[in-house]
Structure 1
Amino acid sequence: MILLNQQKVPGHGVKVRASFRLEDKDLSGTSSATDTAEGGIKPQSLSVSLSIKYTDDSDLTRLLAMARAIDTQTGKRQVYKITNGTAQAGNIRKVKFTENFSYVENATLRMWDVSFTLRECESVPEKIEQRQAQPAATEQSAEGDTITSDEPAPDTITAVANAGGGSVQEMMKRFEATLGR
């Protein structure tokens, strides 16, 4: 049985399968090394399958409406508080419908086979990550001697020229002549 915001999800033969990804990136390049970069723990997903009898078509309509519901305050898909044994075991408290929602006629049994995915919202790893203090930026420095230039900066040349040393072109000619000696 699944409850979403205290509403029972309709259907018979409800099966819930939970999964999540542990992301990492391969850093080995072309070598045989096993180095990886952590990519975090991604939200859990619940794959749900169930059947709804043809005579209970209003249940299917209600379930479709729940999947399509938009939160009027945020303008995003509705987030539901979930009550289910598998969700509880995985510490999943809030979910929203995501990815595929499908329903297929099963004429032999006169019912629809329904399947959909619920993705965890506000997951425990997400909350832990938000609470962790972000590392402070460190100032970088390098060893060695500081190199200075005896050449005046372009702005300095212009300032000297404007202060009575002649035009920039005249000063450049004198400078080039000094270098030629």
Structure 2
Amino acid sequence: MTLLLDGQKVQGKNLKVTANLRIESADMSGQTSNTDKAHKGFKPKTLAVSLMIPFVDRVQMIDLMRLAEATASGGELHLYRVVNDTAEAFGVRQVEFSEGVSAREADNLKAWLVQFTLSERESNPEKVEGRRAGNKVDAQGAPGSAVGEGGSNSGSSDNPELSGFEKVLGRVDKWLGGSEQT
């Protein structure tokens, strides 16, 4: 199995890629034994990668760290195009390094056991959610009266009655502006 990030092969032995899709939900049972859950959406898919790099292939470790530490012009993490069978099966196309990179020395081998996580960015569900129109908000009113009615004694819709606080602010505004004498 191979893993390519922007066309550059991640070198190492025993490469294993584990894909994860986290589905968020919230318990709606309160203090009851009800099993209802509220779906809160899909979180970005992640690829957990593990591999072994022999000490003699130190350049491979240096190259991997260079990929992990790469940043874009604004200081954000570099966004990589990923090529891997598992990533393709999960529909992951673009990733960035997340949650760090760890390397420990193998007990009986002269090699590092390396693990890192790649997190999906700019996924199809994310793009769809960004294009989706916002939910329309309906005007709310008290029972028995239409929105905009009630509380207005003047009967004129152009000059609605102000609250006490708004009247005080109006007087202060006029005083500061010099249009009212004290």
TM-score, scaled relative to structure 2: 0.77
- Please give the alpha-carbon distance, in whole angstroms, between the structure 2 residues aligned to 1:36 and 1:13: 39
Deviation >3 Å, runs of 4+: 145-150, 152-155
- State the AA in 2 paired with 1:49: S
Secondary structure, in 3 states, of the residue corresponding to 2:141? coil
- Please give the alpha-carbon distance, in whole angstroms, between the structure 2 residues aligned to 1:28 and 1:106: 47
Q: Counterpart in 2 of 1:179?
A: none
Pairing 1:143–2:143 present: yes
Identity among equivalent positions (%) equals 40
- Please give the alpha-carbon distance, in whole angstroms, between the structure 2 residues aligned to 1:86 and 1:40: 22
Q: Counterpart in 2 of 1:83?
A: 83
Greater helix content: 1
- Please give the alpha-carbon distance, in whole angstroms, between the structure 2 residues aligned to 1:65 and 1:149: 68
Deviation, structure 1 residue 38: 2.4
Return 5+ residue gaps in structure 1 as ranges. Answer: 156-181
Deviation, structure 1 residue 97: 0.5
Q: Counterpart in 2 of 1:24?
A: 25
Q: Counterpart in 2 of 1:164?
A: none
Q: Counterpart in 1 of 2:40?
A: 39
Bigger Rg, which one: 1
Q: Counterpart in 1 of 2:130?
A: 130
Q: Counterpart in 1 of 2:170?
A: none
Q: Counterpart in 1 of 2:15?
A: 14
Q: Counterpart in 2 of 1:2?
A: 3
- State the AA in 1 paired with 2:136: A
Secondary structure, in 3 states, of the residue corresponding to 1:135? coil
- Please give the alpha-carbon distance, in whole angstroms, between the structure 2 residues aligned to 1:97 and 1:27: 34
Return 5+ residue gaps in structure 2 as ranges. Answer: 154-160, 168-182
- Please give the alpha-carbon distance, in whole angstroms, between the structure 1 residues aligned to 2:24 and 2:91: 19
Secondary structure, in 3 states, of the residue corresponding to 2:24? strand
CA RMSD, aligned part only? 2.2
User: After superposition, what is the alpha-carbon deviation per residue over 1:141-174, rounded to whole angstroms, capped at 9, x for unaligned?
Assistant: 2322576698x9866xxxxxxxxxxxxxxxxxxx
Deviation, structure 1 residue 36: 2.7
TM-score, scaled relative to structure 1: 0.77
Secondary structure, in 3 states, of the residue corresponding to 2:129? helix
Q: Counterpart in 2 of 1:56?
A: 57
User: After superposition, what is the alpha-carbon deviation per residue over 1:15-37, rounded to whole angstroms, capped at 9, x for unaligned?
Assistant: 00011211111122101223333
- Please give the alpha-carbon distance, in whole angstroms, between the structure 2 residues aligned to 1:84 and 1:91: 10
